[in-house]
Structure 1
Amino acid sequence: MTQMSERHTAKVIGVTVAAAVGGFLFGFDSSVINGAVDSIQGHFELGSFFTGFAVAIALLGCAVGAWFAGRLADRWGRKKVMLLGSVLFVVSSLGAGLAFSVPDLMLWRVLGGLGIGIASVIAPTYISEIAPARYRGALASLQQLAITLGIFAALLSDAVLQNAAGGASNELWLNLEAWRWMFIVGVVPAVVYGILALLIPESPRYLVGKHLDQEAADILANITGEVDPHERVTEIRLTLRHESTASFDDIRGPKFGLQPIVWVGIFMAIFQQFVGINAIFYYSTTLWKSVGFTENESFTTSVITATINVGMTFVAILFVDRIGRRILLMVGSLGMFASLLMAAIAFSQATGSGDDVVLPSPWGAVALIGANLFVIFFASTWGPVMWVMLGEMFPNNMRAYALGISTAANWIANFTVTLSFPPLTRSVGLWFLYGLFAFFALLSFFFVRSKVQETKGMELEEMHT
C-alpha cells in the first residue's frame, strides 16, 4: 500500500519529470529536421526520395535503439542506459550540424536515432516502475508532454534561427548556415538529460531483480511513500522470479509466433504512426509551403501546431486515470478520422502544379483547421495513452522484450510513413495520403474496441497475458 504525502508526491513528480526529459529529447531530435528539410534538399541537391530517406534514416536507428534498450536496461540498469542516450544525443547533434556530405549527415542521424529509440523505451519503463498505480497514468503521460514540449522547442528554435538568419539556408554564426545550428542547439537539452540521469534513483524493480532488496525498499519508502516497503519488495520479487532467465521465448505464443498481448502492443504502436502524425511534425513547414504559404508563415504555422500539441496533452494527463485508457483511445480514433477526412477534402481542392500549388479560399483555412483538429485529438488521446499502455500492459516477465518489440514496430511504422511521404505527395497527392491516414484512424477505433483491455488502476504485478 502506498500512502502519498505531499512530500512523497513532489518526489515522485520530480523523478518522473527528470526521466521524462528523455521524452523532450525524443521530441526535439525527431522534429528539429522539420525546419532543415528544404535547406538540406537544396544544399545537397537531393530529389524527393533521398530527401525523405535523409529524414527517415534516423528512424532505423530508433528501431534498433528501442529493440536493445530494454535488454540493456535489464543488464546495466535504467540510469546507465539513460546516460548512454544522452551521450548519443550530444554526439549526433554536433555531427549533424557539421555534416559535410549526405552519407556523413545520415551517419549522425542514425546515431541520434539510437538515442531516441533508447529514450522512447527507458522513460516509460522507468516512470511506470517508479509511479504508484493510482497516479501512473498521469505520471506516464508526462513522457508524452515532454515529447510535445520537445517538438515545440525544436520548431520554435527552428523558426527563431531561420528568422535571425533571414532564411534557413543563410549563414548565421561562425560561417555556419541556420539549418546547421538547428541541430547543434540540441546539445543543451542532451547535457541536461545526462545530469538529471545521474541524480535520480534507480528503478526499484531493477534493484529487486539484482537482489538489492534493501536499496529498493529504501527508494520505495523515501520516494513513493510505501507504508510497508519490504512487503512491496516481496510482491515485486514474486513477479520477477523468471526475470533472470527472461528471453524471447517469454513472448512466444500461439498467434503467429507471439503472445496475443504482444500483438496488441505491436498494432497499437503501428496505428499510432499510420494515422500520419509525423507527416505533420516532420514535414509541416514543407507541407504548408507546398500549398502557398510563405516560409515565415509556414514556420509560424508549425509552431502554432506544436503549441496546440503541448496544450492538449494536459487533457490526457487530467483524464487518463479518471475515465480510463480505452475510452480515450476510441474517442481519439473517431476525432482523428473526422479531422483527417476534412483535411483530405481540403487538399483535394488544390490548384496548380509543381512548386506553384495553392489552396483557393476557403480550402486553405479548412486544411489548417482539419490538421490542427487532428493534432488536438491525437495529443489528447493516442499520443500519450499509447505510451502509457505500452509501459504498463505487459506482465513483468515479458515487459522488456514486449516493450522493445512494440516500440521498434512504432519506429518502423514511423520510418515507412516518413520515407514515403515526399514521393507519394508528388505521385498521388496530399488528398489521397490524408484520406489513407483517415482510414487507419477509423480502423484503430474498431481495433481498440475489440482487442484492447483497460489497465486503469492496476498494479504492474496484476498484469497477465
Structure 2
Amino acid sequence: MVNAPLEDKQSTSIIFVLLISAAAALGGFLFGFDTAVINGAVVALGEHFNVGPVLVGMSVSLALMGSAVGALSSGFISDRYGRVKPMLLAAVMFTASGIGSGFPFTVWDFIFWRFVGGMGIGLASAITPAYIAEISPANLRGRFGSLQQLAIVTGIFIAMLSNYILVKIAGGSASMDLWLGAETWRWMFWAEVPPALLYGFAALMIPESPRYLIGTGREREAESVLSRVLGEHVLEKIEEIKLTLRVENGSSFADLKGRFGFTPIIWVGLGLSVLQQFVGINVIFYYGSMLWRSVGFSEENSLWITVITGVVNIVTTLVAIAFIDRVGRKPLLLLGSAGMLLTLGLLAFLFANAPLDAAGHPALSGSSATTALVAANLYVFCFGFSWGPVVWVLLGEMFNNRVRASALALGAGAQWVANFMVSASFPSLVEWAGLGKTYSIYAFFAAVSFLFVMFFVRETRGKELEEME
C-alpha cells in the first residue's frame, strides 16, 4: 500500500504522455491520408486531364518534393520556434491542400496544391518523432514513437476506405459525379479537411518539448511539463538536459559534417531513410489500385484490395508497438528485411511469368492471382512491423540533443527525395521494363537493407536521449 501513490503518479504520467503523443501523431495520420488519398484518384485524374504516365507520375510524386522541402526546413523552424508551432503550420498546409486539390483547373495547379500538402507532410514527418522522443520516458519511447507510424498507417487505411466508399456510392468509378455535381475524386481530397482542422486544434492543446524549453531558458515551463511526464527526479533530469545542451550548444546542418561528408551516425540515418523507400512500399499505397487493375481486377475490387492492405498495415504496426521495447529495434529490422526479400521476390516471379492480355499487361488469374494478393499483403506485413515504425523511432532517438532537429530534418528530407524517385519512376519503369523487373529492383534493395542493418545499425533500446553520441 505504501507504493500505491507512486504507482498512481507513474500511471498518470504514462497516460499524459500517451495523450499528448497521440495528439502530436495526428500529423502522422494526415501524412498517411494525404499520401494515400491519391491512390483512388490517380486513374480518374489521368483521364480528367488527359495526361500520360509521365504527368501521372509527377502529379503523384511532386507532392513528395514538397515533403522534402518541408522536412529539410523543419530543423531550422523547430529550433527557432519549437515543436508545436510548426505542427500548426502543417495543419494549415494540410487544410489548404485538401481544399485546393479538389478544385484544380489544370494538372499544374493540382500539382501545386499537392506540393503545398507535401510541405505539411514534411514538417509533420520530421517534427512529430522528435517531439514524441523528447517527451517520452526511455523505457516506453519505442512504443510511443511507434504511434507516429500507427497514425500514418491509420491515415492510409482511412484514405483507402473513404476512397472505396465514395466510389461505391458514386456507382463504381472515381470519374462519376457524386454530390453537388462534383466528381468523386474531388470529394476524396476534400475528405482531408476535417482531420486537418482537428490536428490544428490538438496542436494548440499540447505542451512544448521540455528540451526545447530548457534550450531557450524557460526552465519553469520545462519543469512543469517534466513533472507530468516523469512524475519524479525532475530537477535531476533538467540538469542532465542542460549539461548536454551546454556541451552541444547550437544546431545547424554544418554540425552534421564529418570526415566523409557527414559523421557516421548521420550516414546511418540517411541509409535507413533511403532504404525504407527503395524497398518500394509506397508503390503499393500510391499505385495499388492502378496495379491491381492492370493485372485484371475491376476498379471497385482494386480499391477493396487496397482497403485490406490498409488493415494489414495497421495490425502489423500494433505488433511493432508490442515488441519494439522488448526485442529491440535491430532484430525487427532484420526480420522485416528478410521477409520483404522473399515476398518481393515472389511477386517479381509471378508478374514476370504471367500471361499477357491484349494490351500487353500481365493478366493474373486463379492461383497466381491469389498468391500475388497474399504475397503483397505479407510484404506489407513485413514492412509494417519493421521498417515502417522502427525507422521513425530510430530517427527520433539515435541523434544527440545538439543535432537531433537538423539530423532528423536531413533524414526525413532524404526519405522524401527517395520516395519521390521511386514513385515518379514507377509508371514509366513498368511501361519500359514490366512489373516483374520492377519488383526485382525492390527485392534487391530489400537484400541491401538486411546487410545495412546487420553491419551499421546500433541498438538504442532503453537508452536515454542524453546518452546518444
Q: Pick the TM interval, shorter chain.
A: over 0.9
Query: Is the CA contact 1:94–1:183 (under 8 Å) kept in the aligned structure 2?
Result: yes
1:54 to 55, 59, 76: 59
1:333 pairs with 2:346: no
Matched residue SS, 2:338? helix
1:298 pairs with 2:302: yes
Tell me which residue corresponds to 2:432. 427
Query: Is the CA contact 1:349–1:363 (under 8 Å) kept in the aligned structure 2?
Result: no
1:459 to 441, 454, 464: 464
Letter of the structure 1 residue corresponding to residue 177 of structure 2: E
Measure how far apart 1:249 and its partner are.
2.2
Tell me which residue corresponds to 1:212. 218
1:120-143 deviation per Cα after TM superposition (whole angstroms, max 9, x unaligned): 011101000000000000000010
1:188 to 188, 194, 201: 194
1:121 pairs with 2:122: no
Tell me which residue corresponds to 1:161. 166
Distance in 1 between residues matched to 2:299 and 2:234, nearest whole Å: 57
Measure how far apart 1:225 and its partner are.
2.7
Deviates further, 166-175 or 272-281? 166-175
Distance in 1 between residues matched to 2:445 and 2:155, nearest whole Å: 26
Taking a change above 3 Å as real, the CA distance of residues 51 and 2 of structure 1, as seen in their structure-2 partners, is farther
TM-score, normalising length from structure 2? 0.97
Distance in 2 between residues matched to 1:244 and 1:191, nearest whole Å: 36
Measure how far apart 1:390 and its partner are.
0.3
Query: Is the CA contact 1:336–1:377 (under 8 Å) kept in the aligned structure 2?
Result: yes
Measure how far apart 1:164 and its partner are.
0.8
TM-score, normalising length from structure 1? 0.97
Distance in 2 between residues matched to 1:260 and 1:149, nearest whole Å: 33
Deviates further, 226-235 or 25-34? 226-235
Matched residue SS, 1:435? helix
Query: Is the CA contact 2:10–2:231 (under 8 Å) kept in the aligned structure 1?
Result: no
Query: Is the CA contact 2:329–2:390 (under 8 Å) kept in the aligned structure 1?
Result: yes
1:275 to 279, 282, 288: 279
Deviates further, 1-10 or 354-363? 1-10
Query: Is the CA contact 1:251–1:259 (under 8 Å) kept in the aligned structure 2?
Result: yes
1:351-389 deviation per Cα after TM superposition (whole angstroms, max 9, x unaligned): 224276411332111111111100000001110000000
Query: Is the CA contact 2:75–2:406 (under 8 Å) kept in the aligned structure 1?
Result: yes
Measure how far apart 1:243 and its partner are.
5.7
Query: Is the CA contact 2:41–2:185 (under 8 Å) kept in the aligned structure 1?
Result: yes
Distance in 2 between residues matched to 1:81 and 1:188, nearest whole Å: 19
- Aligned pairs (5 A) from 1:343-422: 343-353=347-357, 354=359, 357-422=362-427
Distance in 2 between residues matched to 1:263 and 1:39, nearest whole Å: 40
Distance in 1 between residues matched to 2:8 and 2:211, nearest whole Å: 19
Letter of the structure 2 residue corresponding to residue 150 of structure 1: G
Distance in 1 between residues matched to 2:337 and 2:208, nearest whole Å: 36
Letter of the structure 1 residue corresponding to residue 347 of structure 2: A
Tell me which residue corresponds to 2:45. 40
Query: Is the CA contact 1:340–1:434 (under 8 Å) kept in the aligned structure 2?
Result: yes
Structure 1 stretches lacking a partner, 5+ long: none
- Aligned pairs (5 A) from 1:300-315: 300-315=304-319
Alignment root-mean-square deviation, CA: 1.4
Deviates further, 238-247 or 326-335? 238-247
1:262 to 258, 261, 266: 266
Query: Is the CA contact 2:49–2:106 (under 8 Å) kept in the aligned structure 1?
Result: yes
Query: Is the CA contact 1:395–1:460 (under 8 Å) kept in the aligned structure 2?
Result: yes
Measure how far apart 1:227 and its partner are.
1.2
Distance in 1 between residues matched to 2:436 and 2:367, nearest whole Å: 16
Taking a change above 3 Å as real, the CA distance of residues 253 and 162 of structure 1, as seen in their structure-2 partners, is same
1:230 pairs with 2:230: no
Distance in 1 between residues matched to 2:219 and 2:235, nearest whole Å: 8
Letter of the structure 1 residue corresponding to residue 181 of structure 2: N
Query: Is the CA contact 1:351–1:360 (under 8 Å) kept in the aligned structure 2?
Result: no
Distance in 2 between residues matched to 1:361 and 1:431, nearest whole Å: 18
Query: Is the CA contact 2:351–2:362 (under 8 Å) kept in the aligned structure 1?
Result: no
Structure 2 stretches lacking a partner, 5+ long: 1-5
Percent identical residues: 49
Distance in 2 between residues matched to 1:356 and 1:134, nearest whole Å: 50
Query: Is the CA contact 2:332–2:386 (under 8 Å) kept in the aligned structure 1?
Result: yes
Distance in 2 between residues matched to 1:108 and 1:2, nearest whole Å: 49
Distance in 1 between residues matched to 2:433 and 2:360, nearest whole Å: 16
